[in-house]
């Protein structure tokens, strides 16, 4: 026994062992009574077998509560998590438990995207109608985004805009290929006091009633982003008294004939104009303008009627299309544009 104990204290030496003969029984070595020693240790520390059973039950309950950790989250945190999902996937969380059943109807941000697993566009349109109608009307909606491929009908666009204007949505962003009637819905002529940010993007040029003379004012609209929107009015931005950031990308100037773009916005801070068409003159009444970016087929004449006293950043670019025909005239236009800023 003393020899075996002394051998156990040293590290084993890894030497090749001969193949064991199954006919020979392994020698039995004396083994200490582990159960007796464990029982003696528990008695010395004051731990009883009943305490061990209780500890096992506590671990089991703790593990089950960890699995359902999302159910125990505060409701505001759940809504914040759902706001990052498309509405289609947010609706699926209603099957998690009773607390999640109608939670998606109160999320502050709604993202409607036709690329979120819809087989046909008409199914997506029905889903948009149903999801908006089932929303909790008491809960505020801060942001709504709508993305649809193909030709959008006037009905689905009108439904989205009407919901936005009637439920005091603050931020609205729509991105379509084109509309069936070649225009954004007429409900944009109505005024809004809640909308602070509006982004309209169309791959094909469409008209926008928002820029027409008979449209109502948007008193709190601070951010306006337009892509593929036809500008037909001579004073399209005078109805936005607090407009601070304006972005115009590939917005053709129609019906004026002179291809002059007039931007009258007394509180405008940032202006970006990018066009693949010819712009003869850019007339600005923007005394608070700090940042100006311009890109077009030509260097337009710039007229700042009230001056640009606080202008800090200017970026001028051109796609180099047809400007090499008359380099001298092009250079004169460039000097004229620089003198304006």
Distance between CA atoms of residues 269 and 310, nearest Å: 9
| 290 pLDDT tier (thresholds 50, 70, 90) | very high
Could you tell me the end-to-end alpha-carbon distance of the chain, in angstroms, rounded to an integer? 100
Count of domains forming the chain: 1
Radius of gyration of the chain (CA): 36
In a domain, 180, yes or no: yes
- Better-scored residue on pLDDT, 136 or 337: 136
Distance between CA atoms of residues 24 and 2, nearest Å: 25
Beta bridge partners of 178: 151
In a domain, 325, yes or no: yes
CB 103 within 8 A of CB 94: yes
CB 88 within 8 A of CB 116: yes
Q: With 50 as the cut, is the pLDDT of residue 185 above it?
A: yes
| 4 pLDDT tier (thresholds 50, 70, 90) | very low
- Better-scored residue on pLDDT, 291 or 55: 291
pLDDT of amino acid 3: 40
CB 279 within 8 A of CB 261: yes
Q: With 90 as the cut, is the pLDDT of residue 173 above it?
A: yes
In a domain, 210, yes or no: yes
Nearest to 222 by CA among 191, 189, 187, 195: 195
Distance between CA atoms of residues 333 and 278, nearest Å: 13
Distance between CA atoms of residues 245 and 237, nearest Å: 11
List the Cα angle 103/221/278 in 5-degree steps.
Answer: 120
Element (H, E) at 63: helix 49-67
In a domain, 44, yes or no: no
pLDDT digits (tens, 9 = 90+) for 259-284: 888 999 999 999 999 988 888 888 99
Output the pTM of the full model.
0.73
- Better-scored residue on pLDDT, 265 or 57: 265
Domain coverage including residue 276: 108-340
Nearest to 247 by CA among 287, 282, 283, 274: 274
Element (H, E) at 38: helix 34-45
Whole-angstrom CA distances from 302 to 96, 272, 341 are 60, 14, 8
Beta strand 171-179 with 197-207 is parallel
pLDDT digits (tens, 9 = 90+) for 87-136: 777 777 777 777 777 777 778 888 999 987 788 999 999 999 998 998 88
Which pairs with CB-CB distance under 8 Å and at least 24 residues apart come from 320-326?
321/297, 322/297, 323/297, 323/298
Beta bridge partners of 316: 294
| Sign for the pseudo-dihedral over CA of 184, 186, 187, 189 | positive
pLDDT of amino acid 320: 61
Task: Report DSSP state, residue 13.
Answer: P
CB 306 within 8 A of CB 326: no
CB 135 within 8 A of CB 114: no
In a domain, 234, yes or no: yes
Q: With 80 as the cut, is the pLDDT of residue 212 above it?
A: yes
Q: Is residue 137 packed enough to be buried (19+ CB in 10 Å), middle (13-18) or exposed (0-12)?
A: exposed
Length of the chain: 341
In a domain, 249, yes or no: yes
Distance between CA atoms of residues 341 and 314, nearest Å: 8
Give the CATH number, domain containing residue 166.
Answer: 3.80.10
In a domain, 301, yes or no: yes
Nearest to 250 by CA among 205, 284, 315, 317: 205
In a domain, 85, yes or no: no
pLDDT of amino acid 65: 47
């Amino acid at each position: 026994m003393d020899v075996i104990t002394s051998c156990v204290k040293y590290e084993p030496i890894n030497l090749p062992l001969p193949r064991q003969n199954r006919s020979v029984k392994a020698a039995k070595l004396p083994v200490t009574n582990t159960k007796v020693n464990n029982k003696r240790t528990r008695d010395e520390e004051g731990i009883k077998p009943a305490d061990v059973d209780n500890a096992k039950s506590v671990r089991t309950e703790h593990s089950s509560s960890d699995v359902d950790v999302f159910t125990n989250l505060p409701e505001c945190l759940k809504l914040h998590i759902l706001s990052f999902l498309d509405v289609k996937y947010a609706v699926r969380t209603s099957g998690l438990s009773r607390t999640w059943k109608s939670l998606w109807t109160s999320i502050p941000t709604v993202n409607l995207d036709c690329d979120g697993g819809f087989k046909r566009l008409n199914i997506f349109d029905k889903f948009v109608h149903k999801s908006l109608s089932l929303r909790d009307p008491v809960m505020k909606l801060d942001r709504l985004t709508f993305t649809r491929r193909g030709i959008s009908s006037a009905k689905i666009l009108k439904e989205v805009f009407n919901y936005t204007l009637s439920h005091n949505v603050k931020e609205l962003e729509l991105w379509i290929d084109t509309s069936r009637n070649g225009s954004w819905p007429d409900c944009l002529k109505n005024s809004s006091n809640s909308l602070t940010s509006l982004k309209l993007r169309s791959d094909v040029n469409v008209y926008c009633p928002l820029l027409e003379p008979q449209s109502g004012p948007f008193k709190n609209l601070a951010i306006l982003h337009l892509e593929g929107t036809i500008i037909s009015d001579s004073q399209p931005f005078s109805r936005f008294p607090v407009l601070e950031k304006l972005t115009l990308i590939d917005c053709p100037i129609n019906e004026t004939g002179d291809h002059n773009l007039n931007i009258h916005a007394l509180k405008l801070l940032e202006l970006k104009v990018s066009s693949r068409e010819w712009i003869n003159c850019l007339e600005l009444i923007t005394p608070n303008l700090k940042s100006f970016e311009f890109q077009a087929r030509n260097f337009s004449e710039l007229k700042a009627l009230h001056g640009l006293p606080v202008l800090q950043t200017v970026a001028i670019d051109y796609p180099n299309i047809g400007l090499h025909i008359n380099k001298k005239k092009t250079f004169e236009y460039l000097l004229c544009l620089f003198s304006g800023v």
